[in-house]
Structures are given as C-alpha cells and as structure tokens.
Amino acid sequence: MSTKLVWTKAWYRSRGVWGSILAAAGTIYGLYATALPCGALQTFHNYTSAAITLYGAYLAFVGRRTASQPIHIFWRYQKEVPD
C-alpha cells in the first residue's frame, strides 16, 4: 500500500467541523423552542431547529465522505496518508 505526504488544513475550512457545529446549534435551538408557549410560533421554531440540525448532520456526513486532508487546530504540519 502506497502513501503520500499531504499538508493539513485549518479546522475552520472543514465541512465536517461546520456540520457538527450546526447540528449542535440546531439541538440547542430546539431546546430553547420547547420553552416557548404553545402555538404557531413554537411550531415554526421546532421545524426550524429540526431543519438546522438535519442540514448540519448532512454537512458533517458530506464533509467526512469528501475529506482529502486531515485537519489541524493550532499549526500546519505534514502527515502521511494512504494513497
């Protein structure tokens, strides 16, 4: 099995990271929506939080499937990955 040397990319350029952040934000928003009084406004907030969470999960999945480089948090470095 051959390997190649690649540079890592910053965490904020990763679709997987942003997808997980959006999914977490949608969940937190959903918890806020349950505190609202019943009615049309609460229903709107519930559907919105579900849509944000689903889009975040989709983005995380797509980001993981299309990832070509590992990510880094503080500094850039080279890493050996399978070809």
Count of domains forming the chain: 1
Question: Is residue 5 very low, low, confident or very high in pLDDT (cuts 50, 70, 90)?
Answer: confident
Q: What is the pLDDT of residue 4?
A: 86
Residue 36 has phi, psi (to 5 degrees) of -75, 155
Q: What is the pLDDT of residue 2?
A: 85
Average pLDDT over all residues of the chain: 89
For residues 47 and 39, give the distance between their C-alpha atoms in angstroms, rounded to a whole number.
Answer: 13
- Could you tell me how far CA 44 lies from the centroid of its own chain? 23
Q: Does some domain include residue 27?
A: yes
Q: Does some domain include residue 7?
A: no
Indicate if the pLDDT at residue 20 is higher than 90. Answer: yes
Question: Is residue 36 very low, low, confident or very high in pLDDT (cuts 50, 70, 90)?
Answer: confident
Q: Does some domain include residue 1?
A: no
Q: Does some domain include residue 3?
A: no
Q: Does some domain include residue 57?
A: yes
Q: What is the pLDDT of residue 81?
A: 83
